[in-house]
Chain A
Amino acid sequence: MRRTWMPISILLIAALLASTIVLAALYATKPTKSELLAGLTPAEAATMSALAPVLAFSPEDVPGEVGGEPFIDDLGREVFVPGASSVESIVCLHPAATETVFYLGAGDKLVAVSNAWTGDPWAEYPGGPGEYESWITTPEEVDNEIEQRVWDVKDLAAIPAAVRVTPDAPYTLNPEVTLSPQNIDGDPLLEGYPDVVFVFSDTIEYAAGIEELVPVIVFFPLSLEDVLYDMTVIGKIVGKEAEVANLIEEIKADLLDITMTTLIEPRPKVFLETGYYWGTIYTTGSGSIVSSLIYLAGGDDIGTAVSSGAPSISPEYIVYEAPDIIILAHLFDTPDGVAGRPGWDTIPAVVIWQADPDEGIYQLTVEEMDQITRPGPRIVQGLMVLLGIIHPELS
């Protein structure tokens, strides 16, 4: 018996392994560029394939209507949002969505927002770097206004990580708010629930179990056009369709303008590092929002060699590709540390940095990191940050 089973079990294990590896390889394979882009250099093709869907985007193509046709969120879920024409109360666990809601002038509909996830005060809508003063009078006013709208749910902490107050993030809302249905007294469908909950895919766990009671929209934007799509969904839900259409036209025009100025310029090779943990180097990967922004800003992102699903990248590949600019979008290492990595002293960016510490290697500030990574109305600012590094003469 054993003699017959052994080869079978080994075959099974081998098949399992082989299929794992094949699946991984398929998953990591980059999509081929469209035939239409055949005459362009790879960098130009990447720029065009980032920009074209943005220009082709139209808010009218986005399905969904409050009280009517269901919305389709970034995970492809159909979500019916009840109501007359727009919602009145929103719990938002996604900073870019919070920013969008405020940008569209519907901040008074927010009853709770989140500051968790990265530890930086997410959703810094009232105190964002100089941008929001024009829409909001003072943070206290916002807080007061929203606190009055926090529904009456006591002694609850079912989502403490998602909605909590920390001393250094004074603009976060009432910590007592919970989304957990079992903690609500009385008829939960009549009061005590927001009309809609916005979550980011990273915080989806905090909304688990409430989907039967509250419409939950999950945001997971992977490309620039996804950002526009998400804004449109938010605009429709808060009843600011005209405002969101204007915002999208502005963003499209800005992205196009900047791309047109960078298109004819020489294209430096750029490596943007998003993490350096235990010797492992992370980047954003092919087709990601940040990678698209690098191309629009006139750079050539060498991180596109890895897929955005598996973004750790080999150091020898970076040394070989010899980027002219290295951008650190994290605080795990310093330009000094980068210059000291084994073999990196041959990289042009490092050589430039050694001659002039203001060039070659750039470490982004926390605000700049937010601007380039937050898929909301500040996306053009993110592009300007990258433009200032890649083509300072144009910005």
Chain B
Amino acid sequence: MKSRKKIALILVLLAAVLFGAMLLATAIGAVHIAPLDILKMTLNKLHLAHFDPTWRAVEEAIVFQVRLPCVVGAALVGAALATAGSLFQGLLRNPLADPYLIGTSSGALFGLTIAMIFLPATLSFSGFGITSIAAFLGALGAVFLVYTLARIGGRTHVVTLILAGVAVSFLLTAISWFLLDVMGELHWKAGAIYGFLWGQITAVDWSQIAVLAPIIFVGIILATFFAFRVNAFSLGEEGAAYLGINVERDKVLLLGIGALLTACAVCIAGLIGFVGLVIPHIIRLAFGPDNRLVLPASALAGASFLVLADLLARTILAPTVLKLGILTALIGGPVFLYLLLRYRREYAF
């Protein structure tokens, strides 16, 4: 167990890294805009100073309307996925748990497919495309279904939960692809599915952030607040019960928080692998398994990681945009392997 002071220090450092990453990601993009101009227009925008514009109006629109929402979106998605991942790993006592383990990804895919069949693609509500909303609802619906299925006699066994999650995932994925396969007119929408499966943060709107950021913030804060209970779950459910934890109630609560965070992330970016699975492990390798640190540190590290991965996705072949999910695995994989080899003997889960 680390002292509070040390935890605070680590978190402040990680927050500083995140801030730096976001600054960098705002300064660099497919289009070159002088960093000094960006600084000046930001100070103008915040009413901290007034500089006469030496930049074009279009450059200001690019920074504040196009680039910054994507950077903030990437940070939110990274934080949400990494927090949900560490929650699920702790709660389900399974190092392979990722935010999508209990049905979110397939549920989102299913929702997306249904929306494509029955609703016009151009429908949207307050900045959200119909596909995003369908994915969000599908993700939450699938988790609810898995939980209901796994609940036997008022109790939900962790193993049953994981197995039900896997089975429902396969089922929903199969139904989705079946529909996409047999409905000829859906073939041409395969591009949308492809974008969804590999994740993408290219067109985030401030109005989306205004809706989702509060949910994600509250989710992360609640998760951190309940970190002690996640620690208790690592002793197994009996052990947790001996510590005075209301196991069933807390399980629902923590699963709910994780599922909501994941659904928010899916809603913004589609499916982005790797972040939720591996960032919590990297944090544990580096700082130990105490969830009071792992949860908030994963959120900050996940956010920084995704902001940087998105920066690379936008800039490596600019103005071509690469699929974000490919980048996260390409960068994160080697980093994780390196840490795994280096800390092999000290790893505790």
Contact = CB atoms under 8 A, between A and B. Distances in A.
Given A116-B187, A275-B191, A342-B69, A21 B316 contact: yes
A118 B194 contact: no
A25 interface: yes
Interface stretch (B2-10, B58-66, B158-166, B221-229): B58-66
A138 interface: no
Contact of A317 (B30, B131, B270): B30
A315 B192 CA distance: 17
B314 A13 contact: no
Given A119-B185, A307-B320, A312-B321, A319 B200 contact: no
A28 interface: yes
Contacts of A346: 57-58, 61
B204 A320 contact: no
B187 A334 contact: no
A306 to B, nearest CB: 5
Nearest to B29: A316
A25 B184 CA distance: 35
A348 to B, nearest CB: 10
Given A278-B196, A320-B58, A315 B317 contact: no
Nearest to B185: A119
B320 A10 contact: no
Secondary structure type dominating chain A contacts: mixed
B167 interface: no
A342 B204 contact: yes
A289 B184 CA distance: 26
Given A13-B337, A334-B122, A341-B203, A316 B66 contact: yes
- Chain A CB within 10 Å — which of B184, B185, B330 has the most? B184
A317 B192 contact: no
A118 B270 CA distance: 24
A394 B175 CA distance: 51
Contacts of B338: 10
Given A9-B341, A281-B202, A333-B122, A314 B187 contact: no
Contact of A313 (B192, B206, B320, B342): B320
A322 interface: yes
A230 to B, nearest CB: 23
Contacts of A332: 121-122, 192
A395 interface: no
A337 B125 CA distance: 12
Contacts of A331: 121-122
A6 interface: yes
B59 to A, nearest CB: 8
Nearest to B331: A17
Contacts of A161: 184
A19 to B, nearest CB: 12
Contacts of B203: 279-281, 315, 341-342
B65 to A, nearest CB: 3
Interface string B9-47: 000000000000000000001110000000000000000
B53 interface: no
B319 interface: yes
Contact of A310 (B61, B204, B206, B320): B320
Contacts of A28: 317, 320
Contacts of A14: 334
A10 B342 CA distance: 11
B54 to A, nearest CB: 17
B201 interface: yes
A45 to B, nearest CB: 20
B57 A118 contact: no
Interface in A329-368: 331-334, 336-337, 341-343, 345-346
B314 A314 contact: yes
B65 A314 contact: no
B250 interface: no
A280 B323 CA distance: 9
Interface in B242-288: 270
Given A314-B29, A342-B204, A118 B187 contact: yes
Interface in B304-329: 314, 316-322
Given A320-B31, A342-B205, A313 B122 contact: no
Contacts of B31: 314, 316-317, 319-320
28 contacts: A17-B334, A21-B316, A24-B316, A28-B317, A118-B187, A119-B185, A119-B188, A277-B189, A277-B195, A279-B201, A279-B203, A280-B203, A280-B321, A282-B191, A310-B320, A313-B319, A315-B66, A316-B62, A317-B30, A317-B31, A317-B319, A319-B61, A322-B58, A333-B121, A334-B122, A337-B124, A341-B203, A342-B205
Given A280-B200, A342-B65, 9 more contacts: A116-B187, A277-B192, A279-B204, A280-B321, A313-B319, A314-B31, A341-B203, A342-B204, A343-B64
